[in-house]
């Protein structure tokens, strides 16, 4: 009788968690997903760091609120961090922590298989989303991500009654670099430019490779926009000067042109990008004239 009641209770929890997940999957919300993981993890009473008497504070599972160490990336397995979910899970299934937590009754076991499957699919989805939103060469966000981000920022700006700086940066003489030095060197120049701009960009700001040799940056500033934009350009130019001085006569020098505009909540994004692009070409023309 007690065993039947235990199975019935496990089934009710399983049904509730499954319905919860279906509701969350329709929202496609990262916060809700993490809340669900946290909720279904509450009943895991086997703590790996306690059972193994582990003191490794660097392990991401150590005293983690998610009791399922077998779905936490980077946990330690015999001294080796396994970040591959598939490889890690195969090892974890043979662990006494997993077996004690999961093999209590058939319903809990089936529920755990479902949770692991959901987590595996979710991890793969996140990997695919990252690939789809990342430029393969520079590892920056790509145009697809920036366009989506700008639309979300416009909505946020309307709520907060704020504005942003939208900046376009272009590599000067990039076609000549490709023609004279070859595309491999051209690719390396793009990577160097991306690294330089990224170094000058603050954590609250967003940088993307928008296409070809063009980069788009969204700056968040409370100060006057001309002052903030010129300060950002100054940081980049200082880094470029140091890079060129170090390179000497080896390979092409790096030179960039800049154009920016203020992005308001009532702006059309395409028009704002076109304005920044126009200003960038004005800067490029002025730089050629001063050579």
Comparing CA positions, the residue from 207, 291, 281, 199 lying closest to residue 240 is: 199
CATH superfamily of 143-289: Reverse transcriptase/Diguanylate cyclase domain (3.30.70.270)
Q: Which helix (H) or strand (E) holds 23?
A: helix 2-27
Backbone CA torsion sign across 26, 9, 66, 80: negative
Task: List strand residue ranges (DSSP E) for the chain, in order.
Answer: 76-77, 80-81, 164-171, 206-211, 214-219, 256-263
pLDDT value for 108: 73
Domain ranges in the chain? 2-132, 143-289
| Radius of gyration from C-alpha coordinates of the chain | 26
pLDDT value for 289: 81
Identify the three-state secondary structure at position 11: helix
- What are the per-10-residue average pLDDT scores of the chain (291 residues)? 70 73 66 66 71 79 73 61 59 79 75 76 78 93 95 92 95 96 96 98 94 95 81 97 90 95 93 97 90 64
């Amino acid at each position: 009788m007690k065993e039947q009641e235990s199975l019935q209770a496990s089934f009710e929890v399983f049904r509730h968690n499954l319905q919860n997940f279906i509701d969350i999957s329709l929202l496609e919300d990262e916060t809700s997903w993490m809340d669900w993981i946290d909720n279904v993890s509450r009943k895991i009473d086997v703590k790996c760091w306690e059972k193994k008497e582990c003191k490794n504070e660097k392990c991401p599972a150590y005293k983690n609120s998610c009791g399922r160490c077998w779905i936490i990336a980077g946990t330690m397995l015999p001294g080796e961090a396994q970040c591959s979910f598939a490889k890690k899970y195969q090892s974890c299934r043979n662990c006494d922590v997993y077996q004690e937590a999961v093999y209590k009754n058939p319903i809990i076991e089936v529920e755990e298989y479902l949770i692991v499957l959901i987590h595996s699919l979710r991890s793969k989805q996140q990997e695919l989303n990252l690939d789809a939103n990342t430029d393969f060469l520079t590892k920056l966000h790509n145009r697809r991500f920036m366009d989506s981000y700008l639309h979300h920022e416009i909505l946020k700006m309307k709520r907060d009654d704020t504005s942003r700086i939208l900046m376009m940066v272009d590599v000067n003489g990039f076609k000549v670099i490709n023609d004279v030095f070859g595309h491999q060197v051209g690719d390396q120049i793009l990577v160097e430019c991306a690294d330089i701009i990224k170094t000058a960009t603050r954590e609250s700001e967003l940088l993307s490779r928008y296409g070809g040799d063009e980069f788009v940056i969204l700056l968040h500033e409370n100060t006057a926009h001309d002052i903030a934009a010129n300060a950002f350009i100054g940081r980049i130019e200082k880094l470029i000067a140091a890079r060129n001085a170090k390179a000497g006569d080896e390979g092409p020098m790096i030179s960039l042109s800049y154009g920016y505009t203020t992005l308001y909540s009532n702006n059309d994004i395409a028009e704002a990008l076109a304005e920044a692009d126009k200003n960038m070409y004005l800067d490029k023309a002025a730089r050629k004239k001063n050579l």
